[in-house]
Amino acid sequence: MKKITKGTSKKDRCSGDRQHNKSWQDVAGSIEVLMVSRDPHFEQEGSRKRANYLPELARELICFFYEQLKGDEHIEHEILCAYLKYILIDYVEHGYSLDQAFGLEQSKCDSNVKDTTERDIQIAAKVAFLRKACGYTYEVAVEMVAEEYSLSETTIRTQVRKYSDFGHLPPSVLKDVFE
């Protein structure tokens, strides 16, 4: 199969891939493979890479539905809805791009990764507090917080940049955030 790149025209994306020989049972099976691969505990054999990145299968399904709709051929609405359900869930609820939700592009995050937002906010607030209330320099505050949280100074700096607005808050508010 031809690899699709951003420069590939719409006409070339499905040309030569006429999927009319595929049965609806085959399509349903392909969709089931994509749905199972979305389980965060499912990994490709011999790999740590998430299996929800199956671009050739995803492309085949897209082209199949395109050809069916383009030719005004019979569509199994139940199968199409099952396919779209998981795409829409990934896009709306999980924040995937449409390419990621359709399985054309690898998602950059693993759903097994722990959400560190609360910790990151506390880190940024603590650095801002140490600077404002205690008079520490940025470098010393970063070093102290890195040691306290057992994280690298680079990680601390990243969170401080991400939540840079905390530098404008009064120390009493900052203290409430990390305590």
Return d(Cα 162, Cα 3) in angstroms, integer.
36
d(CA 113, CA 116): 9
Q: What is the pLDDT of residue 18?
A: 47
25-42 mean pLDDT: 63
Whether the per-residue pLDDT at 114 is higher than 70: the answer is no
Domain ranges of the chain: 10-102, 117-178
* Per-residue pLDDT, 3: 43
Residue that wins the pLDDT comparison between 64 and 30: 64
Name the pTM for this structure: 0.46
Instruction: Kindly report the three-state secondary structure assignment for every residue of the chain.
Output: CCCCCCCCCHHHHHCCCCCCCCCHHHHHHHHHHHHHHCCCCCECCCCCCECCCCHHHHHHHHHHHHHHHHCCCCCCHHHHHHHHHHHHHHHHCCCCCHHHHHCCCCCCCCCCCCCCHHHHHHHHHHHHHHHHCCCCCHHHHHHHHHHHHCCCHHHHHHHHHHCHHHHHCCHHHHHHHHC
* CA angle 51–57–61, rounded 5-degree value: 130
For residue 2, the model assigns a pLDDT of: 40
The most confident of 24-28, 113-117, 170-174, by mean pLDDT = 170-174
